[in-house]
Structure 1
Amino acid sequence: MGVRGLHGFVASSCPHVCTVVNFKELAERHRSQHPGGTPTIVVDAMCCLRYWYTPESWVCGGQWREYYSSLREFVRTFTAVGIKLIFFFDGMVEQSKRDEWVKRRLKNNREIAKIFHYIKSRREQPGRNMFFIPSGLAIFTRFALKALGQETLCSLQEADYEVASYGFQNNCLGILGEDTDYLIYDTCPYFSISELSLDSLDTVMLCREKLCQSLGLHLADLPLLACLLGNDVIPEGMFESFRYKCLTSYASVRESCDRKGNVILAVAEHISKVLRLHQGEKKLEEMLPLGPNKALFYKGVASYLLPGQKSPWFIQKPEDVVTLDKQVLSMSSDPESKQEFPVCMDSESKQKLPVGTDPEFNLEAPMCTNTEVKQEDPVNVGPEAKHQVTVVLDPEILKVARAQHVQAESYLVYSVMSSGEVECSNSLEDATDQALPSQAFVYRPVRQRVYSLLLGGGGGGSSTGPAVKEWFVYSGNPLRQPDLVRPLQMNIPGGTPSLRQLWLSQEPGIQAQRLDTLLACFDLSSSREELQAVERPFQALCCLLVYLFVQVDTLCLEDLHAFIAQALCLQGKPTMELADLQEVDSMSLTSGEDINHLLEKVCTEEAAESGYQTRVKPLDPLDPPSE
C-alpha cells in the first residue's frame, strides 16, 4: 500500500526518519499543551488486523475468543493511559483505485495457492511467514470493537484519506497504521503499528519533516513526489521513463542505496532543482511528460489535499478543474470550492432482459440507474455521493443506510443502494478443489434476495430492478469486469415489506415481519416453526447451517457435527484454556463413528460445566438502526 519503494527507502537509507516514541509520554505532553482535551489516536484498522490476530493456528481461523481477548487488551492498554481510540475501516473502493484493487486481489490469489500447495505437500499448516488474514476478520472486528465500547467508523471513500483528514481536523495525537501514504499527507504524526510494543507502549514515529530534509523537499512537494514514484492512483509504469531520465542525470548516486532508493533521491532532486525553478510560472503539464495522463495525474496529487489545503504546484484559480472520465474534479480540497460530478448515463431507466437470457445472471444487460443528475443532494450525504449513481431514490432511506454504513453497523448495504456496486476480497479457498464451490456462488442467492429488498422487487422469478455490479473474487475470475447480478424475488407471506417498514416502523408485529424477511433471504420461510422452537441464540446458526447444507451437497454429517460442536461446546471455556486446546488430527480418525464418539464425549463433558448458557444476543441484520 502507499508509495512505491518509499517504505524500504526510509528503513534502509533514512533511518533517522524513524524515531522511537512512547505513547504515554506523548499523551501527557498533549494534555499539557491542550488543557481539557483528550489525546486521540486515529487507528487505520485494516492495517492493524495482522497485529491483532496472533493465534498460531491461523489457516482455519475461528479463534474468536482469543482474538476478542487480544482486542480487549489493546483497547484497555491505551485507555489506561488516557488515550482515546477512533477506528476506521475501509468502506468503499474508489473507481480510480479499482485497477490497483484488482491487481492486489490477483496477487493474493497466488499467495493463497502457495498456502494450499504447502498444506497438501507437507500435510501441516504453514508458519506465520505465509500468514493470510482469515476470511471475514475485518467485518467481525468492527462488531468486536463496538462491543468493547469503541468508536468504529466505516469510510465513504478511500479510508486513508478519511483517517488523515480526521487526524488533521481534530488535532489528534497521531495516526496508527502501516501505510506510507501517511508520510505524504500533511496531517498529524504517523506511528507504526508493526513496531508497537503493547507492554511498554513504545513504537516508531515516522517523521515527514525529517523525510523532507533528507530529500531537500517541502511538505507541499510530497504529493507530487508520491505520484511521480507511483501509488494506488498512479500506475508505477506511467512515469518509468521519466524516472530513468532523472536517475541518469542524478550526480549524487549513493552506493549505500539500492536502485529504488536512488530513483527516489533522483526524482526528489529533479523536483527541488528543476521543477521548482519555474514553479508558479509554468503549468505542471509543461514541465512533466503527462501527455494523455494529465487528468489522472492531477487527480492523484489532489487526492492528498485535506480539507482546506492547497497545492503550490497548481496555479490557484477557483475555476481550475480537470475532466476525468466524464467527472469534474476540483484542483483543491478547499471546502469553499464546489465539487461537481456530472455523470453520463444510459437513457433507459429500466432495461428488460432479452428473451432466453438467464434472469439471475446476465452479463449483457447494462446497469439500470437514475438518469437525472441533480444539482443539489437532497440527502445531504456529503461530497462523496456526488460522484455516485444513486440507485435508491428515497432520500430518507438512503440517509439511514448511509448513517448505518458510517457507524459500521451494516455491510455492503449502502454500496448497493448508492452506487449499485459491491466487492468482496479474497477468501482462503483452494482454487484446485472442484468439489467445494466458492463462497461467492454459495451465498449469491442470498445476496440476490437482499438486492431485491434494497432495490425493489418484481414479479416472476426475478426482479425488474437494476442489476448489481459484483466484484467478487473466485477461482477463474480475472476481474476484468464485474458480474452483473440481478435481484431475485423473495417469497414472504403477505408480500415483501418496504425498507421504511423494516427500518423505521414501530408498529406492533414488525419484529415478526423482520424475522419473516430474514428467513426469506435464506429461502427458509417454510421452516419458520421449526426454527422458532430452537433457543434464540442458535436460531441464526441453524438458519445458516440449513442453507449451507442445501447449497453445498459435498458437505457431510461430520462437517455438520463440527459446526455444532464449536457453537455448543466452546462458549464456557476461558480464553487461555481455548488457546491451549489441542487440535484434532483428522488423519487419526478412521471413520465417522470415531468423530461421533468424540463429539458425544466432548458435548457430555461440557454440558455439565456450561449448561449452554448464552450471554450475548445475536445481531439481527434486519433490526432497525441504532439511535
Structure 2
Amino acid sequence: MGVKGLQYFMDCCCPEVCVTVNLRDMAEQHVARSPDTAPCSDSTDPTLVVDGMACLRHWYSCKNWVCGGQWREYMDVLQSWVEAFNSAGIRLVFFFDGVVEEQKRKEWVKRRRRVNGEISKIFRYIKAHEEQPGRELFCLPSGLATFTCFALRSFGQEVFCSVQEADYEVASYARQHGSMGILGQDSDFIIYDRKKSPVPHHGAPQGQMVLAVSQFVSSLWGREEEEPGHILQSMTLSAFHQELLERGICAYLLPGQEGLHRNEVSARPPASAFEKYVSPEILKACREKHVAAEGFMVYGVVCEGVIECSNTLEDEEDTELLPQALVYKPCRQHIYGLLLGHDGSAVDPPAIREWFVYPGNPLKEPDVVHPVSLPCGRPSLDSLWFGTGSNVSALRLTSFLTIFDCQEFSELYGTVDASLLAALCLVTYIVLQVQTVSQEDVDAYLSQVVCLSVKSPQDIRQIKLPFLSSRAVQLGSLYVRGLSHLLGANCASGCPLPNAALMPWHSFDGVLFHSKYLLAHSGTDKTVLLDSDSSCLSLFLHLREKLLETCRKRGRVLQSRPRHSATGQSHKTTTGPRGRERPTGWPSGGGERWKSRGEMTGAPRHGGGWRERAEESREQSDHDNRERLWERGGHRGGEMRGSQHFHHFYPECHGEGPQSTSHRPKQSRGRSYRSRGRYRLAPRWSEPPAPGT
C-alpha cells in the first residue's frame, strides 16, 4: 500500500529520477540488450508487469459509472488499451490483489470507511439533482477488479491473482523474468530493487536519512563494499529504531537477494487447517485457479477461511433496500456448505470470517458466518470438480441452481442462452430475498437483459436518461454484485455454466437498465419496453412467467408499485430541482415518502438506520446468524406476512440434469446482434475446461 510521503519526497528532492519515456523506443532498447541483462527472461518480447488495481481508474473512462457500469463500452476501451501495447511489440503480464494481508487490514478498513463517506455524498447529490455527480465524486462500478481479470483473460492476456501482497509479487515477477519494467502507481516499487543510490544529498536531515536507507538497501545485493551492519551503525540509530528499520527493509527483500532474510509476516492460517474438510487435490486446485484468475471466492473460503468485499453504491439513508452483503448472505452460506460441509461427520464445518463493507457495519471485526448445507445434502466436492459423465454434469447444474433456490430452471438448460439462464436465476433470487422488489423492478431487470443481446455498443451510447433514480442506482449495483456470487457458486459447483456467461457485459448495462427502470415504473406498455421487438417480447414473457411461477411456489407474490408516472398520465407533477418537472410519486429528499409507507417485509419495526440494525444483528447468537436477518415482522401492500426460513424453500432435490419515455428512437441493429428464432438456443460459448484444471 506504499510508503506515505515517499513519492512526494522523490518529486521534490530527486526530480531527476522521474522522466518521461517512449515505451516503443524503450522496448527496442530492451530487446537489444536483453541477452546480457535478462538471461532468465521466459520471452523474447519486452515485458511490462502491470499492477492491475492501479490501472482500474484509468481503464474505466466511460462517461456513466453511477448506474452500475457500461460494461460493453468498458470492454472496448480495455481491448484497445491492450492492443496498443501489443502493436508496439510489448508483452503484458497483469497482477491483481487476491488477498488482504492481516497486517494491512487496518489500512484497508480505513480506506473503506473513507469511501463510504464519499458514497454518501454521491447519493445526496443524486437525490438533490437527479443526475450523476462530477468526476470529483467518482466511484468505480462494483466488481470491476473481479470482472476485469476475466476480461483480460478473454483477450488472451496473462493474468495472475496474488496470494500475498500484490506489490511484492509484481516486483518479484519483474525481477525473476527480466521484465522491461513495472506499470503501476505505488511508492513500494521505488523501494523494491533500487539498485543504484542517487547522488549524495547534503540537504535536510530527512533527505540524508532517506539516502542512507537507500544505500543500505543497495548493500543487501552484496554489490557494495560496505557491510549492511556497518551502514546501520553509521546511522546512529537507537536499538529500537535499528530493529524497526531492519524489519521494514526485510519486508521489501525480493527472492534471491542477499543479506537479511525477508520476514514472513502473513497471519493467514495455513492451508492445512482445512485439510480435514477437503482433499489435498481440492486445496491444490483452489490455489491454482486463484493464482490463474480462473476462480472466484473458493480460494478465500477453502484456503484462507476469510473473504472480503469492498464498497458498493448503497444509500445508507434508504432502509427499504437491504445491503447487498445481507441479500446474498444465504447464497454464500450455501456456497460455504458446499465447499466445507462434511457428510457423515459430527464435526461442524468451520465458520468463515467475512469483511464485507455495507451500511451499518463498522468493520471493527469480521462477521462470523456459518456454512449451511444444501437441502439435498452435500455432493462430493471431488466428484463435482473432477468427475466425468452425464450424472456428474447434472449434479453440478443441480447444485448451482439449488444455491439460488432455482432448481426448477434445470429444464431451461440448453434451451436458452447460458447468460439468460444465469440472469433469470439471479433476478429470481433477488425477488425471493428482498420483499420490496416490485413487478416493475423485475420488468426492468428482465427487459434490459433481453434487449442487451440485440443492441450494438452504438445503440447503448445513444441512450439519454431524463433523470436518475437513486433507487435504480442501488438496484443496478445489487445486480452486479449478484453476478460475482453467481461466479462463486459456479466455481464451487464445478462450473456447470461457462464462466464467460456470467460476465456483466453479457447481461447488464447500467444506462440501459436505468432507462428500462424509468420506463417500467412509468407504466410503459410491454411492447415499448421491449423496443417493439416481437422476438424480445416473447422471450421476456417466457422468462418472466418462469420467475413468477417459481415465486408462487414459495409464497412470494409480486406486487405492482410504480414509483412515478410518464408525462401526461394521472399523477400530477411538481417542480423539482432546477425547475424540472418531477412526478409526485417519485421519492425526493432521500426517499422519505416511500420510507414513510412502511418498512419492508421482515425488517425490524423500530427506528434507526442500517448502522444501528447491523450492530444489533452482530450480537445475535450463532443460531441467529443462520437465519435470514430480514425474517422478522410485518408486511404491506397485500404481500405474504413474514417469510420462511431459507432452506424451507427447497423441495426435495432430484438428480436429473438439465429514450425517451414517450417513444423509442429508431434502432440500427447489425445482423450479429439479432437472435434467431423465438428463443436463443444453446450457449454460445464452448464447453468449459474440465474442472480442476
Distance 1:295 1:450, change over 3 A: farther
Counterpart CA distance in 2 for 1:472 and 1:525 is: 28
Counterpart CA distance in 1 for 2:520 and 2:419 is: 33
Among all aligned residue pairs of Structure 1 and Structure 2, give the percentage whose two residues are the same amino acid.
41
Distance 1:215 1:133, change over 3 A: farther
Relative to structure 2, which stretch is displaced further, 16-25 or 539-548?
16-25
Aligned residue identity for 1:488: V
CA shift for structure 1 position 502: 0.7
The answer to whether the Cα contact below 8 Å between 2:311 and 2:358 also exists between their aligned partners in 1 is yes
> In structure 2, the residue corresponding to 1:144 is in which secondary structure?
helix
Counterpart CA distance in 1 for 2:25 and 2:415 is: 56
Structure 1 residue 427 corresponds to structure 2 residue 427? no
Higher relative contact order (CA 8 A, sep 6+): 2
Aligned residue identity for 1:82: G
The one of 474, 477, 500 aligned to 2:358? 474
CA shift for structure 1 position 591: 5.1
Counterpart CA distance in 2 for 1:612 and 1:396 is: 42
TM-score by length of 2: 0.64
CA shift for structure 1 position 497: 1.2
Distance 1:309 1:271, change over 3 A: closer
Structure 1 residue 612 corresponds to structure 2 residue 597? no
- Give the aligned partner of residue 489 of structure 1: 373
Aligned residue identity for 1:625: P
**1:106-505 correspondence to structure 2 within 5 Å:** 106-186=113-193, 209=196, 212-213=197-198, 216=201, 252-253=203-204, 264-265=206-207, 267-268=209-210, 280-281=229-230, 288=237, 291=240, 298-311=246-259, 314=260, 331-332=261-262, 389-390=273-274, 392-457=277-342, 464-492=348-376, 495-505=377-387
Counterpart CA distance in 1 for 2:214 and 2:248 is: 20
- Give the aligned partner of residue 5 of structure 1: 5
- Give the aligned partner of residue 548 of structure 1: 430
- Give the aligned partner of residue 238 of structure 1: none
The one of 42, 45, 58 aligned to 2:52? 45
CA shift for structure 1 position 540: 0.7
> In structure 1, the residue corresponding to 2:368 is in which secondary structure?
strand
> In structure 2, the residue corresponding to 1:213 is in which secondary structure?
coil
Structure 1 residue 98 corresponds to structure 2 residue 46? no
The answer to whether the Cα contact below 8 Å between 1:502 and 1:622 also exists between their aligned partners in 2 is no
Q: 1:328-348 CA distances to partner (integer Å, 9 max, x unpaired)? A: xxx347xxxxx799x9xxxxx
CA shift for structure 1 position 576: 3.6
The answer to whether the Cα contact below 8 Å between 1:453 and 1:499 also exists between their aligned partners in 2 is yes
CA shift for structure 1 position 611: 3.3
Counterpart CA distance in 1 for 2:14 and 2:149 is: 35
Gaps of 5+ in 2: 36-42, 220-225, 470-517, 538-666
Q: 1:241-294 CA distances to partner (integer Å, 9 max, x unpaired)? A: xxxxxxxxxx945xxxxxxxxx85264267589999995259779954575x98
Counterpart CA distance in 2 for 1:488 and 1:626 is: 24
Distance 1:90 1:279, change over 3 A: closer
Counterpart CA distance in 2 for 1:117 and 1:90 is: 31
CA shift for structure 1 position 301: 2.2
Aligned residue identity for 2:523: E
The answer to whether the Cα contact below 8 Å between 2:50 and 2:182 also exists between their aligned partners in 1 is yes
CA shift for structure 1 position 503: 0.7
Counterpart CA distance in 2 for 1:422 and 1:404 is: 16
Aligned residue identity for 1:18: C
CA shift for structure 1 position 148: 0.8
Distance 1:267 1:455, change over 3 A: same
TM-score by length of 1: 0.71
Distance 1:10 1:570, change over 3 A: same
The answer to whether the Cα contact below 8 Å between 2:216 and 2:231 also exists between their aligned partners in 1 is no
- Give the aligned partner of residue 571 of structure 1: 453
Counterpart CA distance in 1 for 2:681 and 2:138 is: 32
Structure 1 residue 593 corresponds to structure 2 residue 523? yes
Counterpart CA distance in 1 for 2:367 and 2:413 is: 34
Q: 1:351-379 CA distances to partner (integer Å, 9 max, x unpaired)? A: xxxxxxxxxxxxxxxxxxxxxxxxxxxxx
The answer to whether the Cα contact below 8 Å between 2:101 and 2:164 also exists between their aligned partners in 1 is yes
> In structure 2, the residue corresponding to 1:428 is in which secondary structure?
coil
Relative to structure 2, which stretch is displaced further, 395-404 or 275-284?
275-284
Counterpart CA distance in 2 for 1:615 and 1:145 is: 27
Counterpart CA distance in 2 for 1:618 and 1:215 is: 63
Counterpart CA distance in 1 for 2:287 and 2:120 is: 37
Counterpart CA distance in 1 for 2:456 and 2:312 is: 29
Counterpart CA distance in 1 for 2:159 and 2:74 is: 17
Distance 1:430 1:13, change over 3 A: farther
Distance 1:626 1:583, change over 3 A: farther
Counterpart CA distance in 2 for 1:214 and 1:618 is: 60
- Give the aligned partner of residue 88 of structure 2: 81
- Give the aligned partner of residue 625 of structure 1: 691
Aligned residue identity for 2:398: D
CA shift for structure 1 position 479: 1.3
Distance 1:62 1:617, change over 3 A: farther
Counterpart CA distance in 2 for 1:582 and 1:126 is: 16
Distance 1:500 1:605, change over 3 A: closer
Gaps of 5+ in 1: 188-207, 217-250, 254-262, 315-330, 334-338, 344-383
Counterpart CA distance in 2 for 1:624 and 1:563 is: 32
Counterpart CA distance in 2 for 1:274 and 1:174 is: 23
CA shift for structure 1 position 13: 4.7
> In structure 1, the residue corresponding to 2:442 is in which secondary structure?
helix
The answer to whether the Cα contact below 8 Å between 2:341 and 2:373 also exists between their aligned partners in 1 is no
Aligned residue identity for 2:370: R
Distance 1:584 1:481, change over 3 A: same
> In structure 1, the residue corresponding to 2:49 is in which secondary structure?
strand
CA shift for structure 1 position 137: 0.7
CA shift for structure 1 position 595: 6.7
The answer to whether the Cα contact below 8 Å between 1:458 and 1:465 also exists between their aligned partners in 2 is no
Report the count of equivalent residues. Answer: 494
- Give the aligned partner of residue 323 of structure 1: none
The answer to whether the Cα contact below 8 Å between 1:532 and 1:539 also exists between their aligned partners in 2 is no
Distance 1:593 1:80, change over 3 A: same
- Give the aligned partner of residue 22 of structure 2: 22
Counterpart CA distance in 1 for 2:317 and 2:200 is: 48
CA shift for structure 1 position 612: 3.1
Aligned residue identity for 1:268: V
CA shift for structure 1 position 577: 3.7
> In structure 2, the residue corresponding to 1:93 is in which secondary structure?
coil
The answer to whether the Cα contact below 8 Å between 2:130 and 2:467 also exists between their aligned partners in 1 is no
Distance 1:439 1:299, change over 3 A: farther
Q: 1:282-317 CA distances to partner (integer Å, 9 max, x unpaired)? A: 9779954575x9877644321211001134xx5xxx
Distance 1:67 1:4, change over 3 A: same
The answer to whether the Cα contact below 8 Å between 2:278 and 2:340 also exists between their aligned partners in 1 is no
> In structure 2, the residue corresponding to 1:175 is in which secondary structure?
strand
Counterpart CA distance in 2 for 1:577 and 1:611 is: 13
The answer to whether the Cα contact below 8 Å between 1:503 and 1:622 also exists between their aligned partners in 2 is no
Q: CA RMSD in A?
A: 3.7
Counterpart CA distance in 2 for 1:570 and 1:284 is: 67
Counterpart CA distance in 2 for 1:595 and 1:5 is: 58
Aligned residue identity for 1:472: F
CA shift for structure 1 position 558: 2.1
Counterpart CA distance in 1 for 2:321 and 2:297 is: 25
Distance 1:624 1:548, change over 3 A: farther
Counterpart CA distance in 2 for 1:58 and 1:576 is: 17
The answer to whether the Cα contact below 8 Å between 2:279 and 2:382 also exists between their aligned partners in 1 is no
Counterpart CA distance in 2 for 1:273 and 1:44 is: 26
